[in-house]
Structure 1
Amino acid sequence: MQKIPYTTINGGSVPMMILSVFSMITFTSVYGFDSVWTEWWWTYDGFSGPAWWGTKWPICTMGRYQSPIDILPDKLLFDPNLTGVVFSSEKKINGNLTNTGNDITLFVDDVIVPLINATSGPLQYVYHLHHIKLHFGHDEASGSEHTVNGQAFPAEIQLYMFNADLYANYTQAMSSPNGLVAVSIFLEVGKIGNEAYTMISNALTHIPTKGQQHRVHGLPLSVLLPQTKEYITYEGSLTQPQCQETVTWVIFNKPIYITEQQLTQLRNVNKEGGSHLLIFGNIRPSQPMYNRLVRTNINFRPKTKVCSMVKEVFYEVNTVQTRSGR
């Protein structure tokens, strides 16, 4: 029979399990239920995985503008009025690369945030860069949250920016109309890694477990961004709780490249110290479309129909609005 561990408090023995529950209740009462629930409870698997997020945040399961999505080529709407997104990316990024336990996030320094902006294209306001997230899988068949015709990339970088014209900060914008834009960059395996991503990769060795941070200096956003003005855009949500539906997504038509070694290193980052539980698989499944439009400025009619976004996938762009969902 398994022995129950005990500890001593005020001369008496108390089961450790009861003490743990009491500590959790105390922590919840002091710091607030929502704080504990948001920061501690959710994961990407089991009873705290995406299928259960709606028990705390109903919009995660009931919302009609949830992300990510599977991009279906024959449902795309070509919009000739979509110009390229303009980034003021001359300023290099400084920030803290952090192992959150659920992903790898680069939190941009406050003094840098107002200096890196995005506007134009589908954006009616100016957006400031706040943080950058990485999502990745355990093999090359999975990894990106967004997919194309059911096909995933090995990893996906997501740049989160907030509406600086209407809101004072990211937290305020996160729950407000037109609050956020998320810029998605697919990662593909190549012989030579992207120079800007290599700076992130080099820092990963310093944050092998949850809660660890490492300073990143001088990351050039202009190098991290793919060299293309073509993209796909739709209205969606954050892909993590609390799943707010305040996000305009911009998904670039070209990937950037990382090496096989860099991808392996990414997959070896741990969730918890010494537990050997790895972060890989931090991917929310594709969400229903509910008749949303997915627009693009990719015009294949006068050019080739081969999309540069993914191998052996062809786009047939609609020139009229479609009403079919997934």
Structure 2
Amino acid sequence: MDKDTDVLISDSSRNYLVVIWQLLTDSPYKKCSLVLGLGVILITVITLVIVFTHQSTGPSDDICPATPLVTFGYNPHGADGPLHWSHLAPETRCCAGSIQSPIDIKTQSLYCRGFSAITYQGSPTGALNGSISSTGQGAVLAFSKQHQLVTGVLPEVTTDYVLDSMHFHCPSEHHVDGKPMSGELHLVHYKKQYSSFGASVAKQDGLAVIGIFLEEGSSSNNSAFNSFAEGVQKLNDNRTGISVTLDPRQLLPTGGKFYTYFGSLTTPSCSESVRWIVMQKPIITTQEKVAILRTLKVKDAAHLSDFGNARPLQALSSRRVDSNTYHWKIAALNNKGTRK
């Protein structure tokens, strides 16, 4: 070890390295010892890099709590618009985080996993009671706490999550291969262990949200979505606390195929505590039904159609998006152009 190197290393570290160096160089098997030592050092460095990278792109330890009193908007030029959400309050700092939602889902970059279709436990059966109200930037249907719908079949989780509420965004927040849809429903769940949505927001594994696209067609045959749209229409008549009864299970498209990744809430506080499950198949509804959602009155006597209520896309960064579908595009990439 030379003098310059010696200056840069603390005494304790220097002594430790000197001992190792002497053991290696004094050994009768000097070459083998040097190769072995360098190999150990290389493996250690690679391991540290992998651990550091995983930690830097995974869930943050600083997760923002719920902020029900924060006023925000979607006007891209407004002082409370999406570009300024992270500065609205100390609790909204997560809106500037590195694992935010929504994202553009690129089907050629998916990882195929053997996830099961999303199902709920058998009880309660049938429709659930709920109350729909305006949030100032949309509408939320809060389900009755008396009959909680629970699922334990979610990707990357091993415990029960409780369905808390549902709401919508127009246009859709998530895109697929750069393309948005007419709208997107969000079924919001919290981890049963944490007892409530508010207590789960600031937990790394606290929330799971199922996103369901809305696509315009010639008919609207999903009775659960029609009931939700009718409730939103009643809100347009300046009423609050509209009673709505529907079966959320009917909102899940047939086939059970979905995309999944780890991200955040798409409204302040933007807490990075959400396991996202975005269903591949949309609900088909009519332009008239979508118009009911888009003309909902929001704050300042405006209509949602003025700016929509979809947050701009966020960077995927180093995150991966999984799917429980073996897309032929993925097969083509993985098999050098051979379609399976």
Q: TM-score when scaled to structure 2?
A: 0.71
98 and 78 in structure 1: CA distance in 2 versus 1, 3 angstrom threshold: same
Tell me how large the CA RMSD over aligned residues is: 2.4
- What's the offset of the Cα at 1:121? 3.4
Count of residue pairs brought into register by the alignment: 261
Q: Which amino acid aligns with 1:50?
A: P
- What's the offset of the Cα at 1:99? 1.3
Structure 2 partner of 1:127: 161
Cα separation, 2, equivalents of 1:292 and 1:109: 35
- What's the offset of the Cα at 1:117? 2.7
- What's the offset of the Cα at 1:112? 2.1
Matched, 1:175 2:208: no
For 1:262-273, list aligned pairs within 5 A.
262-272=289-299
CA contact (8 A) 1:78 1:318 kept: no
Matched, 1:241 2:268: yes
For 1:294-305, list aligned pairs within 5 A.
294-300=321-327, 305=328
Residue 79 of structure 2: SS of its match in structure 1? helix
272 and 59 in structure 1: CA distance in 2 versus 1, 3 angstrom threshold: closer
Alignment gaps of 5+ in structure 1: 1-33, 137-142, 306-313, 321-326
Higher strand share: 1
Cα separation, 2, equivalents of 1:267 and 1:184: 18
Cα separation, 2, equivalents of 1:211 and 1:279: 17
Residue 185 of structure 1: SS of its match in structure 2? strand
- What's the offset of the Cα at 1:315? 5.9
Structure 1 partner of 2:107: 73
Q: Which amino acid aligns with 1:224?
A: L
**CA-to-partner distance for each residue in 1:284-326, whole Å, 9 max, x for gaps?**
01111111010111113xxxx4xxxxxxxx6668669xxxxxx
- What's the offset of the Cα at 1:229? 1.7
Structure 1 partner of 2:225: 197
CA contact (8 A) 1:160 1:181 kept: yes
210 and 102 in structure 1: CA distance in 2 versus 1, 3 angstrom threshold: farther
120 and 144 in structure 1: CA distance in 2 versus 1, 3 angstrom threshold: closer
CA contact (8 A) 1:135 1:282 kept: yes
- What's the offset of the Cα at 1:39? 2.5
Q: Which amino acid aligns with 1:134?
A: F
Cα separation, 1, equivalents of 2:159 and 2:334: 26
**CA-to-partner distance for each residue in 1:205-256, whole Å, 9 max, x for gaps?**
3211778220002x01222111122111000000000011110000111001
Cα separation, 2, equivalents of 1:200 and 1:54: 31
Cα separation, 1, equivalents of 2:330 and 2:284: 22
Choose 1 or 2 for highest CA Rg.
2
Which of 68, 72, 89 aligns to 1:42? It is 72
CA contact (8 A) 1:155 1:187 kept: yes
Matched, 1:225 2:252: yes
Matched, 1:88 2:121: yes
106 and 318 in structure 1: CA distance in 2 versus 1, 3 angstrom threshold: farther
Cα separation, 1, equivalents of 2:112 and 2:140: 33
State the percentage of identical aligned residues.
Answer: 27
Cα separation, 2, equivalents of 1:179 and 1:318: 35
Q: Which amino acid aligns with 1:132?
A: M
- What's the offset of the Cα at 1:149? 1.5
Residue 226 of structure 2: SS of its match in structure 1? helix
CA contact (8 A) 1:101 1:210 kept: no
List 4+ stretches of structure 1 deviating above 4 A.
314-320
Structure 2 partner of 1:11: none
Structure 1 partner of 2:40: none
Structure 2 partner of 1:97: 132
CA contact (8 A) 1:234 1:249 kept: yes
- What's the offset of the Cα at 1:86? 2.4
Residue 58 of structure 1: SS of its match in structure 2? helix
Residue 235 of structure 2: SS of its match in structure 1? coil
Cα separation, 1, equivalents of 2:299 and 2:93: 28
Cα separation, 1, equivalents of 2:158 and 2:239: 36
**CA-to-partner distance for each residue in 1:158-194, whole Å, 9 max, x for gaps?**
0000111x31211111111210100000001122212
Matched, 1:54 2:86: yes
- What's the offset of the Cα at 1:91? 3.8
CA contact (8 A) 2:109 2:330 kept: no
- What's the offset of the Cα at 1:282? 0.3
